[in-house]
Structure 1
Amino acid sequence: MARIIPSDLSRLALSGAHEPEIATLAHLRDALPDDYSVFHGVHWTRQYRGRALYGEIDFVVVNGAGKVLCIEQKNGPLAETAEGLVKHYGDEHKNVGQQIQRSIDSIREKFAYQVGKKPGLDIEYLIYCPDHAVKQVVAAGLDAERIVDARKRDRLAQQIQTILPREPGDMGEWAQQAQAFFRQTFEVVPDVHAHIDAQDKNYARLSQGLLDILANIEMAPLRLRVLATAGNGKTLVARHFFDLCIEQGRRPLLLCFNRPLAERLARLVEPGGQVATWYGFCDTFLQSRGIQLDFATMRSDPEFWTKATKQLEAQALTVTPSHDWRFDTLIIDEAQDFENEWLEAIGLFLTQDADILMLEDPSQNLRGNAAPPRHPGGFVGYRSMLNYRSPERIARFINQTLPELPFTCANDLPGLGADVHLYDDPSEQPRLVGRIVGRLLKERFRPQDIAILSCRGIESTALKDVQRVGNRSLARFTGDYDLFGNQIYSQGQVLFDTVRRFKGQQAPAVILTDISPRTDRLAQELQVLFCGMTRATVRLELVCDGTSPWVGKRLGGQAT
């Protein structure tokens, strides 16, 4: 029986493998002798002309002498062309032979760089297409001995041993070096910064699609309602549309519910117009009319902002807002969090033919609004379920965990997957989080790459009074504001906040805590979890209540 690395096949399913690959791995484990090692889901990265190149090899087999066989498995039909075997993915196609050759070249290069051994790795290849019978090997441009097709699928293990024969005896130094290279390079210390860099560039490129759609809509005045899933680029669209309005000499108003997001957008957009939360907009306008809200009563009065909205409406109706408070463009991000009364009040500050762009995601209705906001007539709707942010392994994990909140993964980068950690008592979480942070740092994530987010409120999280996790201090909102009204954070190395406050943002590594969905508010708390999970761009870590029935059913079998 061959040695499988990693050995837990259930984690392979979690990491994004399809059933055919899992079946192949189980077959190799049972059919190959015990002096063979099989590495699966090997992701490689390398720099080329200033760019991070990515690839993946389904299986890497290493024999007792340290010789290597790379296996590329292609499921479903293939096309046989003059250039070779080709796999079609929608409008794209990949040459199978060229793909595996690039992977082999990259592995050789990385081995030489890390190990410095001469000669380099001895690497062979094999293409496994269990659903396709190759008709003309010559046309495919490949050696027949290096293809195991549908007619020879039962002889896969035999063909592997023909190409990579057994070499009995104790594993020598070279073989140990080769084994250690694959184990360390691809499992223990992934090239994290290459993942982060590639993810940032990929997201920026892919999410331009929504911008292109917006740019090609001819409508005057614009009345567009975009319903799009997390990671679709809604906030990016809000920012770029705002800047476009400034370039055209217009006066835009950009509103969102989340204050950290509003402050971040205000720093990024071109000067001019106004960026605010609805609450901030109310407060600032009333102050301009000499009215000071009594914030001391805000926590005790559930109608505080309803009353403030009515005051704003009364003032705007009594005296028409001045030019400084008139806008010819309205952009609302997080529109699902807005209430109908707010939308009606905002209309008092718009010119008659103002353009209106509303961006929302019903799957992130974290305030639990009973009904979606009503919209005036004349709106055109656009819906998109494409998530460009979450890499493939994380996206698959989210879809498996939360099937009631579906989306389509549109990011072909692999990412570094998701891990689940269980606690029996909430007080165990600081220790668990400290351990996770330590491991992420060892994997070469930087402290600023990590965001620890609670699925509870800031006053009810188990990390409420925690100042450090492991050897790292936490940067958290102090509750105070500077002279310009910006939130003040404590000095710390790793960000700690809540999912609700982190909406619209992202981080390479996200650690979600306090995951214990309550049955009496399950739908809303699953949306909070969905929002938190879709913040991660490379790695996702979940810290969950092991006593929760929901956690036991959905996540318990995946815990590390």
Structure 2
Amino acid sequence: MHQEIGSIMALIFPDISGMQATSAGQDRELSVIRVLASDLSDGYAVYHNVLYSTVHDAKQFCGEIDVIVLCPHGHLILLEIKAGNVEFSPTGIHKDYADRKRDVLSQMRFQYGALRQRLKEERLQVQMLQYLVLPDMEVEQGTVTYPLAHIIDRRSMRFLGKIIRDGSENLGKNHPNRFEAISHFLSNTFALATDPSTRIGALNQAVVQLSEGLATWAVRIHAPSGRYLLRATAGSGKTQLALRLLDKALTQGQEMLYVCYNRALADHLRRCAQVPTHCVVTFHELALDALRRQFPDQASFDFTLPDIFQRAEAAFCASNQPPRLNLLIIDEGQDFRPEWIQALLRQCVPDAQAYVLHDPAQNLYGSDNAIDASTECLSDAVEITCMENFRSPRRIVEVINALDLAGTAIDARCPHAGEIPGFHRWENTDSSGMEKLDEIVAQLMTEDIEPKDIALLSYAGRANSLLLQRESIAGIPLRCFTGKFDEDREPIWSEGLLLAETIYRLKGQAAPVIVLCEVDFERLDAQSKNRLFVGMTRAQWRLEIVLSARAENALMAALTESDVG
């Protein structure tokens, strides 16, 4: 019975079974594809998200055709699908996006022309029809340049299959072997891939499921002392482990505390964890509380004093709080001093569990206080090592290993192979590569990658970054941390669509597309390696790097040495 049902359905390339939409636009596209699959016979083939490129007026344009229907006689019907409303005016048809207005008819002309040109180059005689599909709106009339007969709106969506079949019959008669020839052409000439956001959503789901393995097996290891020292590389699942431990402690009504070094990471964990906010803190938040307890009569402290944080650290280490914690998680342990860890461990009750998570390759602050089993307060801890990266595409990990950025080879376990990172050198006249950065972001926009899926990451740091002084890149307003906090000590952000951050503040987090910029160093020393490693491992799907000429030369020299070795 299943084979019989399947035999009357159109073939879909690539397969959409199990694919989940991550936006309204993708949801509409998948809905249209499913209708075509059920309403058309197996004599039809439906290709979706077909990437193309074309040259017009000496400029190259890249884009994507939502759906191409290959009819039984070998002719083609193109569908451009737009979710939501579009604007009809005497000047044409336009669609408003968050960051720009797109000329729909111009987009469709480029699609039609690109496909026609490639067919001509292959000497394939094919007739084509093109429809604009608007599943969310009703259209009373078309435009001078685009008639209503070629628009499928909300009312006519229920007749979609019939419209395609009728259009197919009007295109011409069958030609021997044309269906097979066009099928081969579409499968091999054009890149078939799902929409970038759909791919990103599906990939993120797979990565989370894979990296949860650490959270599954690490908690099964028994340490008589209750102390665990976990060295885990970027993308191995440390966050999932921490969330799993916190959730279990909450369920059991236990006292818990998650402590990290960076405020941005603490904010991220507070959003993810279903625990009281005071259970997720930075070390220096605890230290400042200890300083306030030491001087209860002092209303406030002058944070401009150069030794204020050293005084707070000393106050915390000298404090004598009674043990109360059943669970302690110390994240970013490579940034902690041993005496800080020892003071935190004193707050654990005798049968408590304490996890210290660290990664020497993510030491961004030049600390020489390496944490390992020789550290006195961790001498009775069980050591666990996990060098499997589930987050970064395998091609990115290969470059990381080739440059020896982690000191130890990383095992690439991401389901996505990805592409080799793009390295883009800025010219001497381009201050910190801002012009090159504009160019790269503009290119990403032409590929329909949404601003929300991109993070611009400054290698230079907040004080030296030109990026963080900009209001926009490629015309897209930036969303930056202002350096200020509101009355509830929550960070204040500028209003924008495109995240701009430093590698320091994004450590412990990730984004689908990372543009690592302002990369400048004279030689690939330990500190440069650690910064590069952290920046590169933030990418979940794609990585572009904007670097100076001398940084490029240093990387080339490192690769040459690696090849010789």
- CA 169–269 in structure 1, closer or farther in 2 if over 3 Å, else same: closer
Q: 1: CA distance between counterparts of 2:388 and 2:366?
A: 23
Query: In the alignment, what sits opposite 2:3?
Result: none
Query: In the alignment, what sits opposite 1:356?
Result: 354
Query: In the alignment, what sits opposite 1:281?
Result: 286
Q: 2:229 aligns with which of 225, 228, 232?
A: 225
User: Are 1:304 and 2:256 counterparts?
Assistant: no
In structure 1, give the amino acid aligned to 2:288: D
Q: 2: CA distance between counterparts of 1:50 and 1:283?
A: 48
Q: 1: CA distance between counterparts of 2:224 and 2:45?
A: 52
User: Are 1:47 and 2:16 counterparts?
Assistant: yes
In structure 1, give the amino acid aligned to 2:303: A
User: Are 1:412 and 2:415 counterparts?
Assistant: yes
Higher mean C-alpha deviation, range 222-231 or range 189-198: 189-198
In structure 2, give the amino acid aligned to 1:171: R
Matched residue SS, 2:516: strand
Deviation at 1:435, TM superposition (A): 1.7
Query: In the alignment, what sits opposite 2:540?
Result: 537
User: Are 1:434 and 2:438 counterparts?
Assistant: yes
Deviation at 1:179, TM superposition (A): 5.5
In structure 2, give the amino acid aligned to 1:172: L
Query: In the alignment, what sits opposite 2:196?
Result: 192
Q: 2:400 aligns with which of 395, 398, 407?
A: 398
Q: 1: CA distance between counterparts of 2:331 and 2:121?
A: 65
Deviation at 1:371, TM superposition (A): 3.2
Write out per-residue CA displacement over residues 394-429 of structure 1, whole angstroms, 9 at most, x where no aligned residue: 222332344664201011222354211111235152
Alignment of 1:303-342 (within 5 A): 303-314=307-318, 316-317=319-320, 320-321=321-322, 326-342=324-340
Query: In the alignment, what sits opposite 2:210?
Result: 206
Query: In the alignment, what sits opposite 1:505?
Result: 509
CA contact (8 A) 1:259 1:501 kept: yes
Write out per-residue CA displacement over residues 502-545 of structure 1, whole angstroms, 9 at most, x where no aligned residue: 001010100001112243x8211111111110110111000011
Query: In the alignment, what sits opposite 1:448?
Result: 452
Deviation at 1:442, TM superposition (A): 2.0
* Identity %, equivalent residues: 28
In structure 1, give the amino acid aligned to 2:239: T
CA contact (8 A) 1:46 1:106 kept: no
CA contact (8 A) 1:429 1:462 kept: no
- CA 500–169 in structure 1, closer or farther in 2 if over 3 Å, else same: closer
Alignment of 1:94-133 (within 5 A): 114-119=67-72
Deviation at 1:266, TM superposition (A): 1.4
Deviation at 1:445, TM superposition (A): 1.5
Q: 2: CA distance between counterparts of 1:118 and 1:422?
A: 46
- CA 345–170 in structure 1, closer or farther in 2 if over 3 Å, else same: closer
Write out per-residue CA displacement over residues 38-82 of structure 1, whole angstroms, 9 at most, x where no aligned residue: xxxxxx854214459xxxxxxxxxxxxxxxxxxxxxxxxxxxxxx
- CA 183–509 in structure 1, closer or farther in 2 if over 3 Å, else same: farther
Q: 2: CA distance between counterparts of 1:523 and 1:428?
A: 22
Write out per-residue CA displacement over residues 207-252 of structure 1, whole angstroms, 9 at most, x where no aligned residue: 1111111232234552111111110011221122111111111111
Q: 1:481 aligns with which of 479, 485, 490?
A: 485
Q: 1: CA distance between counterparts of 2:415 and 2:122?
A: 41
Matched residue SS, 1:328: strand
Query: In the alignment, what sits opposite 2:155?
Result: none
Query: In the alignment, what sits opposite 2:123?
Result: 171
| Alignment TM-score, normalising by the size of structure 2 | 0.65
Unaligned runs of 5+ in 1: 1-43, 53-104, 123-167
- CA 370–182 in structure 1, closer or farther in 2 if over 3 Å, else same: same
User: Are 1:241 and 2:248 counterparts?
Assistant: no
Q: 1: CA distance between counterparts of 2:238 and 2:254?
A: 21
Matched residue SS, 1:464: helix
Matched residue SS, 2:505: coil
The alignment covers a number of residue pairs equal to 405
In structure 2, give the amino acid aligned to 1:276: V
Q: 1:550 aligns with which of 538, 541, 554?
A: 554
Matched residue SS, 1:116: strand
CA contact (8 A) 2:388 2:411 kept: yes
In structure 2, give the amino acid aligned to 1:216: R
User: Are 1:254 and 2:207 counterparts?
Assistant: no
CA contact (8 A) 2:477 2:497 kept: yes
Q: 2: CA distance between counterparts of 1:47 and 1:310?
A: 58
| Alignment TM-score, normalising by the size of structure 1 | 0.66
Q: 2: CA distance between counterparts of 1:120 and 1:47?
A: 24
Matched residue SS, 2:228: strand
Question: Aligned-residue CA RMSD in angstroms?
Answer: 3.2
Unaligned runs of 5+ in 2: 1-12, 22-43, 51-64, 76-119, 127-180, 561-565
